Amino acid sequence: MSESANPRDGGVITTDIVLVGAGIMSATLGALIHRLQPDWSISVFERLDAAAAESSDPWNNAGTGHSALCELNYTPQTADGDVDITKALHINEQFQVSRQFWANSVESGVLRRPEEFINPIPHVSFVHGESNIDYLRKRYDKLAGETLFKGMEYITDPVEFTKRLPLMSAGRDFADPVALNWFDGGTDVDFGALTQQLLGYIGHAGTVNFGHAVTNLKKQSDGTWILKVKNLRTKETSTVKAGFVFIGAGGGALHLLQKSGIKEAKGFGGFPVSGAFFRCTNPDLIDDHGAKVYGKAAVGAPPMSVPHLDTRVINGKAGLLFGPYAGWSPKFLKEGKITDLPASIKPGNLLPMMSIAPKEFGLLKYLISELAAGPADRVETLAEFVPRAQGEDWELIVAGQRVQVIRKQGRGGVLEFGTAVIAAEDGSIAGLLGASPGASTAVPAMLDVLQRCFPKHYEAWQPQLSDMIPSLGHKLNDNPRLFEQIWDHTSKVLGLQNTVETTPNERGAHLATPSTV
């Protein structure tokens, strides 16, 4: 280790790697680096007093483990009525990479107690109405034959619907026909617990500093970076010298990338969208549901606003979440400032940001309608999934901010609902912008950072990376035998083998006291 001082003492720190933000992205990158290069020192700086307190917090996301098994926005209907599954295959391939890394990390002792961060939960797509049913049938016909989606079921029988989703069937008028795509091999992922375990491992390589904000950074002539770090408790400022900086600060990443002055960050802007969920407070309702059920997004709604009713497993207990309900705030973080958006506007991104409003009228209309909605309107939206929903059984919780990427395109800009890795040409700094699919594809996103920022090392790391991720460089969808071997192995290591069919009540009882793996 090359650290020379503790930031709490107001001294100067020299470290190989600085990770800004203590969320799933920084934790994943830090764990990868420490496994590949254990002699490198790592310093993590998080302005809040806890790990994964923003987007990675389990109640700030649905924990779906985005694998495109149930999210309909990854299988859009084309103009000719067909269904495009290209993105679904890509997203699922990425999730398989994350899943392999987690399993290998359990085997190597980097992660412990997988039941604390991942549990088996069916993933389900749900629609009603003839035209939507026709779409879902086409989606099934396209996906069911693919290796990654083998085992998917198509269900239209009201009796079977009732058996599998009793909470959603009670009081439902089946004169309005329904359909499901059902996949038993889905998961619920607590990215907060996963982040905490990864940070515990990173702590062996350096320090994880909470209550410390990176306020500025500047590149030196020798290629290193000098960062100013403020202790938010003592108000002292420290100087940190690092060979490489990763900015995984969620919505706060844009401001720091702009301060870095790298040309690759110029022209980027951000559009914040806040979110809220209904969290169920009635244990009987929680016990009556055991799946993650996704519907279709409203017209003009962003992809991250697809309505869904999710079983969650947090601290060993089953929970139930519905949403999201969109809102708007100029803050870039849940614990941010109202000046975040205006402070992000620079000469280089002014035109791209101004050009978005006319192009995204549907999104603006959707946000306005969401902002105008009251408690009764939210319950009415929930009733599409839970026909007998009562407001007193649910509490509204704020899920945080998601800053969508605005990328310069020609003279204007384009709003992107995804993640973008921004890296300097010399590989000395990188940052992650955007919000979705985010955490579930953290491992492939961070492998991209390693490949772009450490190209010479990456070649030498390949054998070790292949041990961690056996499918690296291959498409599992094109290799059924390899996929089956990897799926069976990772399922066993992560404790995801669920061979006994259970009712929602039995699932709830099982999830409340997860078995030891």
Tokens standing for residue 279: 């969290």
Question: For residue 420, how many other CB atoms are within 10 A of its CB?
Answer: 13
Selection from 124, 129, 158, 154 nearest residue 142 by Cα: 154
What structural domains and CATH numbers belong to the chain? 13-482 (3.50.50.60)
Judge contact between 91 and 437, C-beta under 8 A.
yes
What pTM was computed for the model?
0.90
Which residues lie across from 229 on neighbouring strands? 214, 238
**Residue 354 burial (C-beta neighbours within 10 Å; 0-12, 13-18, 19+):** middle
Q: How far is CA 129 from CA 103, 174, 183, 296, 454, in A?
A: 40, 10, 21, 12, 51
Selection from 333, 340, 341 nearest residue 399 by Cα: 333
Selection from 164, 158, 383 nearest residue 292 by Cα: 164
Handedness of CA 376, 380, 382, 388 (dihedral sign): positive
Query: Which of 113-137 are b and which e, b meaning 16 or more Cβ less than 10 Å from the residue's Cβ?
Result: ebbbbbbbbbbbbbbbeeebbebbb
Q: How far is CA 68 from CA 161, 276, 515, in A?
A: 21, 22, 27
| pLDDT per residue of the chain (517 residues) written in tens, 0 to 9 | 344 445 444 467 899 999 999 999 999 999 999 999 999 999 999 999 999 888 888 888 888 777 899 999 899 999 999 999 999 999 999 999 999 999 999 999 999 999 999 999 999 999 999 999 999 999 999 999 999 999 999 999 999 999 999 999 999 999 999 999 999 999 999 999 999 999 999 998 889 999 999 999 999 999 999 999 999 999 999 999 999 999 998 888 999 999 999 999 998 988 888 888 999 999 999 999 999 999 998 665 666 678 999 999 999 999 999 988 887 888 878 888 889 888 898 888 888 888 887 777 677 777 777 777 888 999 999 999 999 999 999 999 988 778 888 888 887 888 877 788 999 999 999 999 887 656 778 999 999 999 999 999 999 999 999 999 999 999 999 999 999 999 999 999 999 985 434 444 444 434 433 332 2
Residue 385: enclosing H or E segment and its boundaries? none
pLDDT at 500: 37
Which residues fall within 8 angstroms of residue 254, CB to CB, at 6 or more apart? 265, 268, 269, 270, 332, 344, 403, 433
Selection from 67, 107, 116, 103 nearest residue 87 by Cα: 67
Which residues fall within 8 angstroms of residue 395, CB to CB, at 6 or more apart? 278, 279, 281
pLDDT at 361: 64
Q: How far apart are CA 168 and CA 388, in angstroms?
A: 9
Q: How far apart are CA 233 and CA 7, in angstroms?
A: 12
